[in-house]
Amino acid sequence: MNKEQQTITARERFVWVIVGAVGYALILTLFPPADGAEFYENEPRSSGYVFQVSTTCPDDVVPVVEKSAVRFSTFVKNEVSGRTTNTLGYDGVNLITCVDSFTSANALRLPCWNDRGLYVCESELYSESDGAVIGRATWWRASRESKVFLECDIQLIPGVNYFQHVANHEFGHCNGLAHNTELMDTMMYPTVVFNTGFHYDDIQGLCHLYDCKTDVADDHGRIVIREVVRPGQPEVWTGVISIWKVIQATELE
Residue 54 · residue 86 · CB < 8 Å: yes
pLDDT at 1: 56
**How would you classify the pairing of strands 118-127 and 151-156?**
unpaired
What's the CA gap between 51 and 102, in Å, rounded?
Answer: 21
> Mind spelling out the 3-state secondary structure of 66-135?
HHHHHHHCCCCCEEEEEEECCCCCCCCCEEEEECCCCCCCCCCCCCEEEECCEEEEEEEEEECCCCCEEE
Enumerate residues 6+ apart whose C-beta is below 8 A from 67.
164, 167
Residue 75 · residue 204 · CB < 8 Å: no
* Cα–Cα distance list, 29 to 34, 194, 211 (Å): 12, 33, 22
CB burial of residue 5 (10 Å; 0-12, 13-18, 19+)? exposed
pLDDT at 157: 97
List the one residue out of 231, 186, 187 whose CA is nearest residue 207: 231
Q: Where are the domains of the chain?
A: 17-35+198-253, 49-179
What's the CA gap between 9 and 165, in Å, rounded?
Answer: 48
pTM of the model: 0.78
Kindly give the confidence (pLDDT) of every residue in the chain, 253 residues in length, as a single tens digit, with 9 standing for 90 and above. 555 555 556 666 666 666 665 655 554 444 444 456 787 878 999 999 999 999 999 999 999 999 999 999 999 999 999 999 999 999 999 999 999 998 766 555 678 998 889 999 999 999 988 889 999 999 999 999 999 999 999 999 999 999 999 999 999 999 999 999 888 889 999 999 888 889 989 998 998 899 887 888 888 888 887 655 554 444 443 444 445 555 555 554 4
Q: What is the DSSP letter of 155?
A: E
